Structure 1
Amino acid sequence: MEKLLFSSLIMVSMAITSISCDDETGTGGASCFNGIKDGTETGVDCGGPDCGPCATCDDGIKNGQETGIDCGGPDCVPCTGLITKSGQITADETWTSNNIYILAGKVVVEDGITLTIEPGTIIKGQKGTGSLSSALIVARGGKIMAEGTSESPIIFTSIDDNIQVGQKAGTNLNESNNGLWGGVLILGYAKGSFKGDVTEVQIEGIPAGDTFGLYGGDDDDDNSGVFKYVSIRHGGALIGEGNEINGLTLGAVGRNTVIDNVEVVANFDDGVEFFGGTVNASNLIVWAQGDDGLDIDQAYAGTVTNSLVVLGEISDHAFEIDGPEGAYQAQFTISNTTIIGNGVTPGGEYADYRSKALGATNNIYAYGFKESSDVELDNNGVSQNFLDGKLTFSGWEVVGFDNSIFAEKVAKDQDGNETESKIILNPDFTERAAAWTTEVMQGSQTVGADLSQFNWTYAKAKGAF
């Protein structure tokens, strides 16, 4: 299609003789920076004697003025285009907001390379599963500088989305459309706790043969760049049985990386998942994910603060927390977070703490959950960590609070079989749950997220909260 369009534009330009644009724009009129040779040369000013009319922008994209406007007029703006990206990025480059970028398969920012993405830029992932799933991957040593703004967020979405340049949302997809492309993965050299005490492993969602999927190391100050005011929508493509790509995957990302104001909507798997690492994250919002909202694994040692999880119809847990897999131990912190239940689905729960989870979950405001929803401590290792004060909770305010819901879940072993739990046997759990949970009326909470931080999001515009 692009070749046909290009050929048509060349034929049009050859059929029109060169004219001077002085009568319409005066000297120094708008320039033709659309990268198309218009019968004279690319980038020639319309005020010069050799100016030929610019090719019209018939890509169906509104360019700030009107579709199809010629560069001979005073309101001419550069044409926009669709730019397809695939494979490795081997030199620094910038993606600009006047184009839409198509991810054709996996696009990898290699070690030593910086990808800069302008505010307002739209990136669309092609369909595909397995090895053909599309994703943007920042490999270890690579850097992404994606600094959107509240007015001009950077948007990752599906090629099925009819959103166009200059828009914040399309009209044909909603929160129920998921798994239409992959997601975004950022990988670093910080520490993680892995089986066998190895220092690096392959990230979930990337086939083992793709070495750019490795993460882990010993540099907790590692810097993978800035990821700010970014919305990720409709992802989570399947790459194997029970293995999907998260909306945003952070593998051993270091603390000098900035993760702030990131939205994940309608991802088939988890919203944001942390695999080890030390990066701090703030103002995260996850809506209508297929699995868990915020997921922590492999001794993540950072802090997640002022975040929001809104469960959808098929969502599982707001939080899923796993502990270290090797000898290295570190503790996470989640604080000042609001979680909103779906009230209907069997799997819509507050949280699931598993595999010797270590850390603190503080100042949580929860509402909209059904009466049977609970906080699960899924094995005796987790239960013991709770009793030993290594897994702590404080300042939970719950609408419809009943502290028995925090004790009624029977623990499970690694195979999913129910087992006795020290917490169930120990009445201290119910007593302690009463100490860190309080029943509140909706709207009277004193903890949780500052939701005004999410006014820029797609979720807010669609009435998710």
Structure 2
Amino acid sequence: MKKLVLSLSVLALILGSCSSDDEVITTQPIPTGEITGEITTAKIYPLGNYTIQGTVKIKSGGSLTIEAGSVITATVGDGTADAILVEKGGKLFLNGTAALPVVLTETSKTPGSWGGIVIVGDAPIVGSNSGTTATSEDGNNITYGGANATDNSGSLRYVRVEYAGKKLTDNTSELNAFSFYSVGSGTVLEYLVAYKGADDGFEFYGGTVSAKNLISFGNFDDSFDWQDGWRGADNTNWYAYQTGTGNYGMEVEAKSVNNAFGPKVSNITLTRAAGTATEGGSSAAEYDAIQFKKEGNGEYSNVLISGYTTVNATAVRIQDAGTNTNQVTGGKIKLLNVKINDGTSQFAANGSVFTVVFPVGNYTTSTTTTGAVLTPGAWAIVDGVSLIK
């Protein structure tokens, strides 16, 4: 009874505090606005709905923070190459949550409508002829490659990039959903989604950064791609679903330089939906789950492969004799606990010039392989449909 009297007393106080019948209770409006130009200092955008105008450049010493739950929209019709570009020394902080991701999208929902996220760090690369720098292939012509393996370009958590992969004015250079140029290991990349872009989902150009819990869904070129001696050592839970148009699940290369290092990725799912065509049509034989070329290497474990059943396709393709000799026979490519869910062959050479033979223990299979293990949530849902199949 005492508890009831106390509750009634509190209720009376609350009701009595209302000053008049016409008092209006308001909620905080969601901010809107435009993100554009160069960012040279620390700039923070609260939870809101924003638009991008042109290429937003985060300069050295500048930082851009956009809070969880925000939506950033590009517009294909504005005549500009909309993108977010983090230059060397700049930082980007997009830290969403599973329930409130940061979403970067485009109004027409057309693949290739804008440029996505490009980050340029200061970590080492191995370019052509063992060079330590290179020029970006995205049309921005940025020099990348440095000496700071632990360089920090910020953090991306629970971020979804939709409909990127824009062709630039030369009509050949393309921007991926996520492009990482010489990004260092101090940068955090976790729970990222590349959705229906017109080029690669994720591409690493050298650097030392690692990435965890990635989804590449419906991207036209490769789901995951890298070159320039990328050596991220702590990658896990990569999930690719290719549908409609798509090339390799993973394309692995190293600018024809025989490196003694390579990335490590655990828990990988590569799935190709029935009827998926290559980007170049029937003339392009880019339909394998994984391709190694130009001395690409690395260690990949717990790999689940499904749907790569096009005539002449294979789970793992070794593209050239140099890669076969130095990386396969040399023991620098390891594929451990691989499970293929259909009749695709395990591995093959490109043509009949050489034969692929992995050293004992460097290619193993398993019937219990799980592939990527991802937690569903709003971060992985587009238009009410979960991307985790």
What TM bracket, shorter-length normalisation? 0.7 to 0.9
**Which residue number corresponds to residue 216 of structure 1?**
145
The answer to whether 1:358 aligns with 2:358 is no
Instruction: Select the residue among 89, 108, 123 that pairs with 2:57.
Output: 108
CA distance in 2 between partners of 1:435 and 1:401 (Å): 17
The answer to whether 1:157 aligns with 2:96 is no
Structure 1 unpaired stretches of 5+: 1-23, 28-71, 161-172, 412-418
**Which residue number corresponds to residue 114 of structure 2?**
181
**Which residue number corresponds to residue 338 of structure 1?**
269
Which amino acid counterpart does residue 143 of structure 1 have in structure 2? K
Give the Å deviation of 1:328.
6.2
| Secondary structure at the counterpart of residue 383 of structure 1 | helix
Counting only pairs closer than 5 Å after superposition, residues 1-16 of structure 1 correspond to structure 2 as none
C-alpha change, 1:448 and 1:435, in structure 2 (3 Å) is same
Instruction: Select the residue among 437, 459, 465 that pairs with 2:365.
Output: 437
Instruction: Select the residue among 231, 241, 246 that pairs with 1:301.
Output: 231
C-alpha change, 1:91 and 1:434, in structure 2 (3 Å) is closer
Give the Å deviation of 1:246.
0.5
**Which residue number corresponds to residue 323 of structure 2?**
382
Cα deviations by residue, 1:235-266 (Å, 9 ceiling, x for unpaired): 11101333210000111111111100001100
**Which residue number corresponds to residue 191 of structure 1?**
124
Counting only pairs closer than 5 Å after superposition, residues 372-411 of structure 1 correspond to structure 2 as 372=311, 373-374=313-314, 375-384=316-325, 385-403=327-345, 406-407=347-348, 409-411=349-351
Counting only pairs closer than 5 Å after superposition, residues 31-46 of structure 1 correspond to structure 2 as none
How many residues matched? Answer: 359
Scaled by the length of structure 1, what TM-score is found?
0.71
**Which residue number corresponds to residue 11 of structure 2?**
none
Cα deviations by residue, 1:116-150 (Å, 9 ceiling, x for unpaired): 11001111123269x93110011111111111001
Identity across the alignment (%): 25
Which amino acid counterpart does residue 132 of structure 1 have in structure 2? T
CA distance in 1 between partners of 2:202 and 2:238 (Å): 11
- For the 8 Å contact 2:158–2:191, the answer to whether it is kept is yes
Instruction: Select the residue among 157, 172, 197 that pairs with 1:267.
Output: 197
- For the 8 Å contact 1:454–1:460, the answer to whether it is kept is no
- For the 8 Å contact 1:396–1:447, the answer to whether it is kept is no
Give the Å deviation of 1:113.
1.1
Give the Å deviation of 1:282.
0.2
- For the 8 Å contact 2:152–2:187, the answer to whether it is kept is yes
User: Looking at CA atoms only, which structure, 1 or 2, has the larger radius of gyration?
Assistant: 1
Greater strand percent: which structure?
2
The answer to whether 1:317 aligns with 2:248 is yes
| Secondary structure at the counterpart of residue 375 of structure 2 | helix
CA distance in 2 between partners of 1:434 and 1:326 (Å): 21
- For the 8 Å contact 2:160–2:379, the answer to whether it is kept is no
**Which residue number corresponds to residue 369 of structure 2?**
446
| Secondary structure at the counterpart of residue 289 of structure 2 | strand
Cα deviations by residue, 1:43-88 (Å, 9 ceiling, x for unpaired): xxxxxxxxxxxxxxxxxxxxxxxxxxxxx95332344454222221
Say which is worse superposed, 365-374 or 214-223, in terms of deviation.
365-374
Say which is worse superposed, 282-291 or 298-307, in terms of deviation.
298-307
**Which residue number corresponds to residue 45 of structure 1?**
none
**Which residue number corresponds to residue 73 of structure 2?**
124
C-alpha change, 1:91 and 1:159, in structure 2 (3 Å) is farther
Say what the alpha-carbon RMSD is for the aligned residues: 2.8
Cα deviations by residue, 1:421-459 (Å, 9 ceiling, x for unpaired): 242xxxx35x96995235x5xxxx433111325663125
**Which residue number corresponds to residue 136 of structure 1?**
84
CA distance in 2 between partners of 1:103 and 1:140 (Å): 21
Structure 2 unpaired stretches of 5+: 1-16, 279-286
Give the Å deviation of 1:327.
7.3
Instruction: Select the residue among 96, 107, 110 that pairs with 2:46.
Output: 96
